[in-house]
Chain A
Amino acid sequence: MPIAKRIIDAVREVIRRWFDPSEIKSVGSTPDYRFSLANERTFLAWLRTGLALIAGGLAAAQFLPPLPLRHLREVIAVVLLLLGGTVAIRAVDRWARIERAIRLGEELPVSRFPAVLALLVGLGALLLVGAVLVMGFGGR
């Protein structure tokens, strides 16, 4: 399967680049260290966002009572876990891109990801509000 092999090679290459500091240092010039630290804190903030989503998933799996819809609790938990993992992976990729842009004096890369994440979280919250209301009125 050449396509699968190519994807695996590409993933391995990306991960190798994340772990190799000299790769990042090979382009542009070293910026003011404060910029690098700000970029690092942004990465950490995104990582904590991912951790919060994962914690939400783990809490849903353990502390929600069984919901009227079969396996809805597990679906909520898995969706939150996968979303959190995606946020964490994207955080390090984004950090590397921003570091590169700062070193080259380019504009920071723009992304739709924050908007998509906000919409997903907002939509999920709305659905849960609906579910709570339906359960509250349906129960009595």
Chain B
Amino acid sequence: MTRDPGLQPERTRLAWRRTALALTVVAVLALRLALTRGVPGALLGAAVVLLWAGALVALWGRAAGRGPVRAGTRALPSIALSTAGLALLSVPLVLRGVW
């Protein structure tokens, strides 16, 4: 394959890294909230850490740029579902401050 002057693989790799960073920031924010919510909060916080770690494992190959360029990978649904999972875990964390 000739070198792509548009640097598409590099741009895509950087986009994955940015997303991993954003996911990490969200996980840290969720963990901070979890640690102020008692024992149930700490349990949810552990789930947050697991989700974050799982998403990182799923996207690592993409962000590191190893392997051939290919469409259709489990990294995409994995990171999307982890993100939605973080949002859903955060809802009871927010509501626990009310009740």
Indicate if the CB atoms of A95 and B26 lie closer than 8 Å.
no
| Interface pair B19/A92, CB less than 8 Å apart | no
Q: How far is the CB of B75 from chain A (nearest CB, A)?
A: 9
- From A39-47, A113-121, A128-136, give the one contacting chain B: A39-47
Give Cα A31–Cα B8 distance, bound, in whole angstroms: 14
Which residues of the partner chain B approach A47 to less than 8 Å between Cβ atoms?
19, 79-80, 83
Pairwise interchain contact B26-A51, C-beta atoms closer than 8 A: yes
Given A44-B19, A61-B94, CB of A34 within 8 Å of CB of B77: no
* Chain B contact patch, size range: 35 or more
A93-127 CB mask vs B (1 if < 8 Å, else 0) is 00100010000000000000000000000000000
Q: How far is the CB of B95 from chain A (nearest CB, A)?
A: 7
**Which residue of chain A is the closest to B4 with respect to CB atoms?**
A34
Chain A: how many interface residues by the 8 Å CB criterion? 47
Q: Contacts A21-B72, A41-B11, A78-B95 given: A52-B22 contact, CB under 8 Å?
A: yes
**A-B pairs, 10 with minimum CB distance:** A21-B72, A85-B87, A92-B80, A88-B83, A18-B77, A36-B71, A58-B29, A85-B84, A51-B22, A44-B15
Q: Which residues of B contact A (CB under 8 A)?
A: 4, 6, 8-9, 11-12, 15-16, 18-19, 22-23, 25-26, 29-30, 32-33, 36, 69-74, 76-81, 83-84, 86-88, 90-91, 93-95, 97-98
